[in-house]
Amino acid sequence: MAGTAEAAEAAPSGTAVVGAGMSVAGIAKSGVTGGGSAEGAVATGGGSAVGAVATGGGSAVAAAAGGGIRPGGRLAGVDAVRGLAVLGMFAVHVGPGAEPAGAGYLLVAADGRAPALFTLLAGFSLVLSQRGRNPSDAPGGWAARYRPLLIRCAILAALGLGLASLWPGILVILAFFAVYFLAAEPFTRLSTPVLTAVAGVSVAAGPLLSFVLGPVFGYGSSGRGMVPEASDLTSWAGLGDVVTALLLTGAYPLATYFPYVLAGMALARLCDIRERAVSARLAGWGAAAAAAGYGSAWLATHVLGSRERLLEAISVHHPEALGAADPVREVLNGQYGAVPSTSWDWLLVADPYSQTPLETLGNAGVGAALIGLCALVARHRLGAGLLRPLTLLGAMALSAYVVHALVLAGPAHGAASWGAWIAFSGGALGLTWVWQRACADSPLRRGPVEYALRLAAQGRA
């Protein structure tokens, strides 16, 4: 599961977005998460995420009434969803195999959806951090406007390359999130209708672009999933491979994961979840989108004959997979962030990490439904209290991601059991609670990594 500059919501700091997306992407197959960074301009259209990042400052969300708003302007429901994504990331990284039986269904539910959820939340949080800002208040000059964003993304990329070099046994997503947030900057300037249209088109266009261009880069049938490491930057050839991986052939490439960022941005523009009715509609429409995505894939596979055509393609391009109990699943297990470019029918599946249009639609629907539901629950005192452990964890998602990767690179390397998942989850929930209690009146309450990232980018906490 895996993210990128701090967990931004309506937080007064411009770092919140990173943590939000951070843990998200980290849930990949061997997974990882990421977050994003930025505070922005105006949620309704113009303005730049960069300008807000440069200036910091509060958010209109903090001043609004209702909607489960935490001190500091953060929306508790959104943080709670991010906390759920962190626990899902742990399940994929240190839990047992995802088998559809008994408690294993919990792992099946997290498999593939956690990184998508983190990435969707990153886009959603980016727009929340822009609400109430006037584009005219953005600092003038290139350096003042873009320097904080570039610094945050550079630090996220360095963190990602460094953690991947430690071989923690997961697909570290932080470097990918740095690219997502650089790419998101121009889209913050679009009007809501245009942004919504672009997000809708990207759900199909991104996976299609990956499918068409894969063979051009030698990935017609072979597996993808490279995660850049620091050593890859020691040669021009390695640098070229890093760029290609970040954009197209890696575990969380821009082509197939950036649509989640755009979808999250569009949802935040369209849905003010501080309003009860809007949250309810978001939950309902999200569930409908999930049913449409996953249901269409099921129909294509079991009714329209796409599975039979895929088995024919597998017999030609992946004959070694025919001996598996599920040859289609066996081939997809070797693909990260994309499907093989050997049959158009691959674009009709919705298996975890396939990142087809149908899986993207289904995963985005799940994310929207969870945001709506948690926003509704957080409106009530009892609900907010029940969600509080998840809310605290979600607010420090970037720190949780970095620490869990370090632990996996050391004493817990190779852990894969229910006991390991319980230990990681309990430890993260407990430590974030203690941290926020101890640092309640300090800028460090945002989390140690979030605080350091903001300090480096803006020179102040």
pLDDT single digits (tens) 441-452: 888 988 999 999
Note whether 175 and 165 are within 8 A (CB): no
The secondary structure element, H or E, covering residue 244 is helix 236-244
| H helices, E strands: number in the chain | 19, 0
Q: Is the pLDDT of residue 96 over 60?
A: yes
Q: Is the pLDDT of residue 296 over 70?
A: yes
Q: Report helix, strand or coil for 6.
A: strand
Angle at 83 between CA 80 and CA 86, to 5 degrees: 160
Beta-bridged to residue 69, according to DSSP, are 75
Q: Is the pLDDT of residue 103 over 70?
A: yes
Spatial neighbors of 14 by CB under 8 A, at least 6 apart, are 6, 8, 37, 38, 39, 52, 53, 54, 55, 56, 57, 129, 148, 454, 457, 458
pLDDT single digits (tens) 332-391: 888 888 889 999 999 999 999 899 999 999 999 999 999 999 999 999 999 999 999 999
Q: Is the pLDDT of residue 77 over 90?
A: yes
Angle at 117 between CA 186 and CA 22, to 5 degrees: 70
Taken as a whole, the chain contains a residue count of: 461
Residue 350 dihedral angles phi and psi, to the nearest 5°: -140, 35
Note whether 8 and 101 are within 8 A (CB): no
Note whether 131 and 10 are within 8 A (CB): yes
DSSP characters over 36-86: B----S-TTS---HHHHHHH----HHHHS-SS-BPTTS-BHHHHHHHHHHH
pLDDT single digits (tens) 145-161: 788 889 999 999 999 99
Q: Is the pLDDT of residue 62 over 50?
A: no
Beta-bridged to residue 36, according to DSSP, are 6
Taking the model in full, what pTM does it have? 0.85
Confidence bin at 60 (pLDDT 50/70/90): very low
pLDDT single digits (tens) 186-234: 999 999 999 999 999 999 999 999 999 999 988 888 778 889 999 999 9
The mean pLDDT value for 114-140 works out to 81
Q: Report helix, strand or coil for 182.
A: helix
DSSP characters over 265-311: HHHHHH--TTSHHHHHHHHHHHHHHHHHHHHHHHHHHHTSSHHHHHH
Q: Is the pLDDT of residue 316 over 50?
A: yes
pLDDT single digits (tens) 213-224: 999 988 888 778
Q: Which of 172, 213, 131, 167 is nearest to 2 (CA)?
A: 172
Cα-Cα-Cα-Cα torsion 308, 110, 207, 149, nearest 10 degrees, comes to: -170
Rounded Cα distance between 262 and 1, Å, is 18
Rounded Cα distance between 119 and 257, Å, is 7
Confidence bin at 132 (pLDDT 50/70/90): low
Which amino acid type is present at position 378? A
Note whether 432 and 400 are within 8 A (CB): yes
